[in-house]
Structure 1
Amino acid sequence: MPDPAFAHPRLAPLYDFFEGPRRDLDAYLDIADELGAGRVLDIGCGTGSLAIRLAARGRIVVGVDPAEASLEIAKAKPGGSVVTWLPGDAAAASGVDADLAVMTGNVAQAFTTDEDWIRTLEEVHAALRAGGHLVFETRRPERRAWEEWAADPAHLILDVPGIGQVEQRRQVLEVKLPLVSFRYTYRFLADGTAISSDSTLRFRDRDEVESSLRATGYRVLDVRDAPDRPGREFVFVALRG
């Protein structure tokens, strides 16, 4: 089940406004150029910010996400009509024959059990052509990002067009490594309604991720820094075997 932040009809339209310009996605555009990827699969595409930018550069793009409320927003965006949007998980993209599959943001960490993570890697493998690439990011556990989250409630009030002022707050609920659970609460100031979205992320270290990739038929080509967050993220570039 996707988190309410992406699936709730009142929360999904807020995502792009609170996330801002998403400069973190620039690196994925550069990697797609670097790898010469003509057909790209965006797993956990959300509201389509990356998929639409990739398609605008002339690529064939398939976006997959289990949150249909987010997909509806993606479809309605300028340029959204040229992307193929699929509801569901990576299994929905079987046979896409992509040159490149990507998982941006928190997508890779949202698979909290070993079974779900391995199954997802296998499903992506089936969606890639022979010699295709998988690229994704995950936070470095040693940076202990949850301590920064606990210290910063991410309190913000934005005036969202068509909705009005919305207040956001964050709360760390539980740290039981390798799992960290947190809650975002959004209060709509026009009517006082408050809606919360709870999430849990799994923090895998580099060895664990590399081992899981090898076990599912990939070869790790590179592990990079995220250019906009040096020292905070691993960016894995893997080749489908």
Structure 2
Amino acid sequence: MFSDADAAALYDLLNPWDGTRYASDAFYDDLVMSSDAVLDVGCGTGGMLHRAREAGHRGRLVGLDPDLAALDRARRRTDVEWVAGVAAEARWDREFALATMVSHAFQCLIGDDELLASLIAIRAALRENGRFAFETRHPQARAWDDWNPLNAAEVVDAHGRTLRVWHHAEQVGDVVHLVETTSGSDGEVLRVDRSRLRFLDVPALGAFLAEAGFVIEAQYGDWQRGPVTGTSGEIVTIARRG
């Protein structure tokens, strides 16, 4: 049996948070370390906030996620606040200087109502002029074309098992239906997970942010803070509470 706890541990193996290796992680590390109170929405296993504490962050760090297995793993650090729930139901009031949604968690907000309610709640959690930083894959880059078994990742887990993980898109549109398969080294399928990801272009994203009361402070097409162009694979946004 490959449990939810196993899946959370495997996520950390496949996606270690490390600003010295990954430009995306370094981008957020800089923002977090310069903010005294941070809310990480969709924190998952808590890698970013763990690293911030290890790096000497002395302010308030809060992680929010509905995945209980991921939160159990995040709670290995007790000097961070971990909250089970979704963004749309958050009720913080002007408590944070920075809110984040990293690792493309923003794309898990699917319906218009869910997306807008989440943005409104995140804005409410921010102080005056507080910032919300997140990224979403630019639909023009067609990231789903690379999600196939040929690009499987292989790791050895804490139990000594060699695991292979691959993805494929079973339905493509504004919302992409994604299948993640985990197998053993012998090809036996251990787990299949399905999820949905929403792909918004720049105008649509801007419209949602404006409706929720945000003002876009900066928007980049890569992690080196280059502009969004016709070949950008990301839309990296820093929005300010208006």
Name the aligned partner's letter for residue 221 of structure 1. Answer: E
Decide whether the 8 Å contact of 1:66 with 1:88 is kept in 2: yes
Find the partner of 1:135 among 128, 133, 145: 133
Match of 2:14? 18
Match of 2:163? 166
Residues 1:227 and 1:141: Cα distance change in structure 2 (over 3 Å): same
Decide whether the 8 Å contact of 1:64 with 1:93 is kept in 2: no
* Separation in 2, partners of 1:198, 1:83: 29
For the residue of structure 2 that corresponds to 1:171, the secondary structure is: strand
Match of 1:59? 59
- Identity score, percent: 28
Match of 2:240? 239
- Per-residue CA deviation, residues 148-169 of structure 1 (Å, 9 max, x unaligned), is 224x643233111135222212
Residues 1:217 and 1:139: Cα distance change in structure 2 (over 3 Å): same
Match of 1:227? 223
- Per-residue CA deviation, residues 159-198 of structure 1 (Å, 9 max, x unaligned), is 11135222212222111x2111121111245995611111
Output the TM-score relative to the length of structure 1: 0.86
- Per-residue CA deviation, residues 196-223 of structure 1 (Å, 9 max, x unaligned), is 1111111100111111111111111110
* Separation in 1, partners of 2:203, 2:141: 16
Residues 1:163 and 1:94: Cα distance change in structure 2 (over 3 Å): farther
The gaps in structure 1 that reach 5 residues or longer are: none
For the residue of structure 1 that corresponds to 2:61, the secondary structure is: strand
* Separation in 1, partners of 2:51, 2:85: 21
Task: Name the count of aligned residue pairs.
Answer: 229
The gaps in structure 2 that reach 5 residues or longer are: 227-231
For the residue of structure 2 that corresponds to 1:238, the secondary structure is: strand
Please report how far the alpha carbon of residue 93 of structure 1 lies from its aligned counterpart in structure 2 after TM superposition: 5.2
For the residue of structure 1 that corresponds to 2:75, the secondary structure is: helix
Cα RMSD, aligned residues only: 2.3
Name the aligned partner's letter for residue 85 of structure 1. Answer: W
Decide whether the 8 Å contact of 1:173 with 1:182 is kept in 2: yes
Residues 1:212 and 1:157: Cα distance change in structure 2 (over 3 Å): same
